């Protein structure tokens, strides 16, 4: 009888112990979950906040490649002023994720348009990054009136053969404005015989760069003391070249389907006046919005053409509904497990090995 009472008491203690263990576990779990459910108006101790922040938020420095070059011209990265200027732009653009992510998307659409034109004009491919940093590959207008992907001011654009009037502004035409930019690069190269100085002159002007070289008695960009904008110019180009050409090295895990595709178009030659572009768009089985999106150089709703000039108007080749419900488009990768990244990899497995990522060059 006494033995039975002892056994019963032990069982009760054991059950009570299990209860308390379970109770403590629940409290710990709820406390942990609470960290994820706080809003700005909730109360959280400074200690809990600091512990959670320190455990969860990590920021890494950027490794600078040792063999940086622009158009095959070496960057003297051992110079502390050069190295630190380069590091600044890499850090800014790596951690300005929203901007750099959008530039990855746009570059996939527009670099295939720009690259062949540069090649045809014997301009190094690295010059495509000038359009990227000048306009973010969009048809913006600066406070000084510089317009389009290449940010051409009106006198320069007219001097290189572009048409600018009330109805037409070819600075908004990516193909024609790229051709105009190539004319500038060629003219500048005849003066400097150095692609890095040519790029810098696109920001400062040929005369401005030549005056700085003469005054400071040096012969290259990296030895010049310049205004902040021009001093940063090449390093911004180099930073975007690094980030766009090797995205995974800088933390951008992108699938083909995440990037903007080129839009297939067909070209219509027009040599007469169009009194209403909205009516013209409907005749091509599209709407006015799509017509102006593909032809931003058309500035009004009319195209007056008494001289019968030949204009090329682009319209979609096929449907504008190029995406499926999952965001896939023809030629893009469909979503598969290897396209995604496991954020909780074992310690002995690297992101580089999963994604076959190129590591920074030594």
Q: Is the same domain home to 276 and 152?
A: no
- pTM value surpassing 0.85: no
What element of type H or E holds 316?
strand 311-316
pLDDT recorded at residue 55: 84
Q: Is the same domain home to 99 and 125?
A: yes
Q: Is the same domain home to 115 and 158?
A: yes
pLDDT recorded at residue 14: 61
Q: How confident is the model at residue 315 (pLDDT cuts 50, 70, 90)?
A: very high
- Our count of domains for the chain comes to 3
What element of type H or E holds 174?
helix 174-192
Q: What is the mean pLDDT of residues 4-20?
A: 58
Q: Is the same domain home to 140 and 197?
A: yes
| Cβ partners under 8 Å of residue 314, min gap 6 | 265, 266, 267, 268, 294, 295
324 domain residue, yes or no:
no
pLDDT tens digits for range 79-127:
999 999 999 999 999 999 999 999 999 999 999 999 999 999 999 999 9
pLDDT recorded at residue 356: 39
Produce one character per residue of 262-280: b if its CB has 16 or more CB atoms within 10 Å, e if not: eeeeeeeeeeeebeebeeb
pLDDT tens digits for range 129-182:
999 999 999 999 999 999 999 999 999 999 999 999 999 999 999 999 999 999
Q: What is the mean pLDDT of residues 208-229?
A: 98
| Cβ partners under 8 Å of residue 92, min gap 6 | 239
Domain that holds residue 288: 265-316
346 domain residue, yes or no:
no
Backbone phi, psi, residue 273, to 5°: -75, 140
Q: Is the same domain home to 100 and 225?
A: yes
Of the three residues 259, 278, 307, the one that is the final residue of a domain is 259
Q: Is the same domain home to 243 and 302?
A: no
Percent of the chain with pLDDT over 70: 80
């Amino acid at each position: 009888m006494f033995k039975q009472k002892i056994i019963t008491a032990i069982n009760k203690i054991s059950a009570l112990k299990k209860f308390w263990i379970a109770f403590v576990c629940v409290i710990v779990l709820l406390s942990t979950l609470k960290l994820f459910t706080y809003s700005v108006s909730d109360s959280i101790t400074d200690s809990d906040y600091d512990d959670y922040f320190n455990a969860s938020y990590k920021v890494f420095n950027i490794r600078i490649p040792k063999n940086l070059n622009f158009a095959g011209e070496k960057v003297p990265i051992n110079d502390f002023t050069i190295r630190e200027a380069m590091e600044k732009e890499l850090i800014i653009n790596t951690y300005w994720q929203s901007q750099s992510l959008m530039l990855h998307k746009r570059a996939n659409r527009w670099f295939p348009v720009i690259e062949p034109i540069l090649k045809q004009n014997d301009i190094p491919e690295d010059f495509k990054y000038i359009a990227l940093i000048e306009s973010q590959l969009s048809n913006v207008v600066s406070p000084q009136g510089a317009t389009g992907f290449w940010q051409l001011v009106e006198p320069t654009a007219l001097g290189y053969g572009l048409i600018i009037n009330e109805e037409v502004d070819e600075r908004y035409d990516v193909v024609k404005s790229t051709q105009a930019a190539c004319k500038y690069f060629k003219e500048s190269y005849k003066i400097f015989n150095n692609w890095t100085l040519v790029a810098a002159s696109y920001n400062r002007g040929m005369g401005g760069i030549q005056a700085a070289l003469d005054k400071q008695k040096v012969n290259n960009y990296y030895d010049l003391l310049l205004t902040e904008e021009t001093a940063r110019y090449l390093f911004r180009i180099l930073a975007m070249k690094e980030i766009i050409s090797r995205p995974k090295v800088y933390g951008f895990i992108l699938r083909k389907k995440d990037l903007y595709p080129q839009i297939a178009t067909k070209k219509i030659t027009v040599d007469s006046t169009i009194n209403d572009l909205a009516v013209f768009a409907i005749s091509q089985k599209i709407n006015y919005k799509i017509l102006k999106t593909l032809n931003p150089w058309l500035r009004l709703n009319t195209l007056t053409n008494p001289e019968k000039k030949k204009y090329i108007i682009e319209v979609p080749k096929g449907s504008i509904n190029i995406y499926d419900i999952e965001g896939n488009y023809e030629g893009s990768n469909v979503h598969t497990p290897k396209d995604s990244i496991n954020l909780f990899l074992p310690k002995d497995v690297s992101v580089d090995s999963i994604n076959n990522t190129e590591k920074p060059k030594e």
